[in-house]
Structure 1
Amino acid sequence: MLKMLHEYTISMLQSAVDEAIEKLNMHGYYNSYYDQPIEQYASDNGYSVQELEEGTVELKVIVEEDNVPVDTERERESIAAILGLGKDNVCYQLLDTVEWQEPFPVIDLRNGWFINPVEEEHIPEGNIIHFEPPCAFGSGLHGTTQDCLRLILREEMKGMRILDIGTGAGLLSVATALMGAKEIQAVDIEDVRDEVLYNAKLNGADDKIKVTHADVLDPQFEMEGCFDWIFVNIAADEIKQLVNFIDQHLADGGRLILSGMVTWNYEDAVTVYQELGYELKEIHHADEWVTAYLLRK
């Protein structure tokens, strides 16, 4: 039997929403949320986001139906009374678990490889990367991630050392393991160890990947040895700041993938590496996003 979720929506000023949530919590309504109003704008470093401090938000209150049916009108009246509103100010709709979270699709990389979500029952024919996607960058849906994967999955990496900077959920690291890499260092400014190793285990690669929670731009950050491949999937300014670190850790003849740049800033970032003698082999575009593939001579 499908579990039902009952959603109650209240429009209110953002300045009042925290107090409203506190009142709801005091009366046993613990599952409430709202989307912070934001404005996204193009900046020199790609895209930036700023939170809007004023305006109206929609507060969502979720009531889960277990064995006892939910009296929707009674809940609606209760929520309205707690917040000092009329019942007509509380809108209701019935959700189900299918609607609650959009399914992650199978992604065809158009090279014989597929990204297959773990909940997918029908596994496509071809080479498969099993993956539990996050709700963020690095989900496999983003064009830069797919461009990086297509570059990786055409290469022989047997016995190679890999450094994956900005690993996210570890999709690129997992791909290199499947291509035969012997050691992968995955680094991210967020603590993503559990999800990276979970995805690695889905593909039988958890013994090859070491996850480090660190800011690679921190002067105190250290990494031992050189790597045959380095991937950097962050913004252009950070890519430029990493040039000395990467040059110290990429082996002679090593390959470098720079991603997360956009059309209006990638040339400056790539030029920083070309000035050190790196050869630009390929440029790939996914809408305004750019991925560069370079060779250290």
Structure 2
Amino acid sequence: MLVYHLPGTFETREAHLDLLWEAGATGLEERAGLIRAYFDARTDLDAEIADGEWRDEAEQDWQAQFKATLKPVRAGRVTIVPPWLRDEVEAGQTALIIEPGMAFGTGHHATTRMAVEALSALDLTGRRVLDVGTGSGVLAIAAALLGADHATGLDIDPLTIPIAIENAEINGVPPGRVAFAEGSLGLGDESDETFDVLVANLYAELHDLLAGEYAAALRPGSPLILTGILTGKLDLVRAALDREGFGGVTVREDGEWVLVTATSPQA
């Protein structure tokens, strides 16, 4: 079995994932900061992903192996599980069922888990939640399951929208409680709709760019939850929040990743 090992980071992995699929990968997974791409034969790769290493490995049922390594992820009042582990959710926990791909979207990444934990710590009853960069829809769906009146998920990648919708259906979230759309803040959307909570799992430079849009999208005094931030980029995000008048900033670290919460400016 031919496997291509490529170092990955949060900022680059989605682009690397797309390039590896385009190069003919038959499967992808992530292990300890490495993207493992399975190929039938060696192929020329785009320069952006050419710094990896080809390895011949013993033939194995890698999909079955991947499934065997997955465990339920407890995040506050929510437990994120693939469909075949739903019976392992403890009593009193809210099950969030996500059909994982071979690489991402399982909820095992620290950024996703911390964001769900932060949502779980809030009383979302009757609130409207905005998830910016929704991807597979995990955070928007979690908000709906935790009692939000409505959750909206935005993503600039149109390919994620059907996946997020399917995940919402798997979890039994009524269409009126959650909606997904292609787009992002600051991209010409003139909507004056505001939200009670905003969560964004992006990277620090985007949080810096969008900080003003976050303030505009939130009702005064509302919670902001940001993750996808590497510890070395924390100061950039804190400066952006200070610049836009956010208060009550708190920081939580998990390894190399940071979750930042804050309160939107008062009117």
Does residue 98 in structure 1 map to residue 64 in structure 2?
yes
Find out whether 1:199 has 2:167 as its counterpart.
Answer: yes
- Amino-acid identity (%): 22
Are the counterparts in 1 of residues 133 and 184 from structure 2 also a CA contact under 8 Å? no
- Contact preservation (8 Å) 1:37, 1:57: no
Look up the match of 1:267: 235
Post-superposition offset of 1:165: 0.4
| Corresponding pairs, count | 228
1:236 counterpart = 2:204? yes
Q: Hey, what does 1:51 align to over in structure 2?
A: 49
> Secondary structure at 1:227's aligned position in 2?
coil
Alpha-carbon distance change, 122 to 217 in structure 1, aligned in 2, over 3 angstroms: same
User: Which residue does the alignment assign to 1:124?
Assistant: 89
Paired amino acid for 1:241: L
Number of the residue aligned with 1:32: 40
2:247 counterpart of 1:279: yes
Change (3 A) 1:273 1:113: same
Greater shift after overlay, 236-245 or 196-205?
A: 196-205
2:181 to 212, 221, 224: 212
1:234 deviates by 0.7
Question: 2:3 & 2:229 partners in 1: Cα distance?
Answer: 39
Pair 1:245 & 2:213 matched: yes
Q: Secondary structure of the residue that 1:265 maps to in structure 2?
A: helix
What is the TM-score with the length of structure 2 in the denominator? Answer: 0.74
What is residue 289 of structure 1 aligned with on the other side?
257
Relative to structure 1, the CA distance from residue 272 to residue 100 in structure 2 (aligned partners, 3 Å threshold; closer, same or farther) is closer
Instruction: Give the letter aligned to residue 32 of structure 1.
Output: D
**Secondary structure of the residue that 2:59 maps to in structure 1?**
strand
Secondary structure of residue in 2 paired with 1:119: helix
Give the letter aligned to residue 290 of structure 1: V
| Other structure's SS at 1:245 match | helix
Among 98, 115, 123, the alignment partner of 2:80 is 115
**TM-score normalised over the length of structure 1:** 0.67
Deviations 1:104-146 (A, max 9, x none): 321123x453212102263232312222224445431111111
Residue of 180, 185, 192 corresponding to 2:152 = 185
Cα deviation for residue 101 of structure 1 reads 5.5
Sort the Cα spacing of 1:112 and 1:230 in 2 relative to 1 into closer, same or farther, 3 A: closer
Closer, same or farther: CA 114–221 of 1 in aligned 2, 3 Å: same
Question: Max radius of gyration: which structure?
Answer: 1
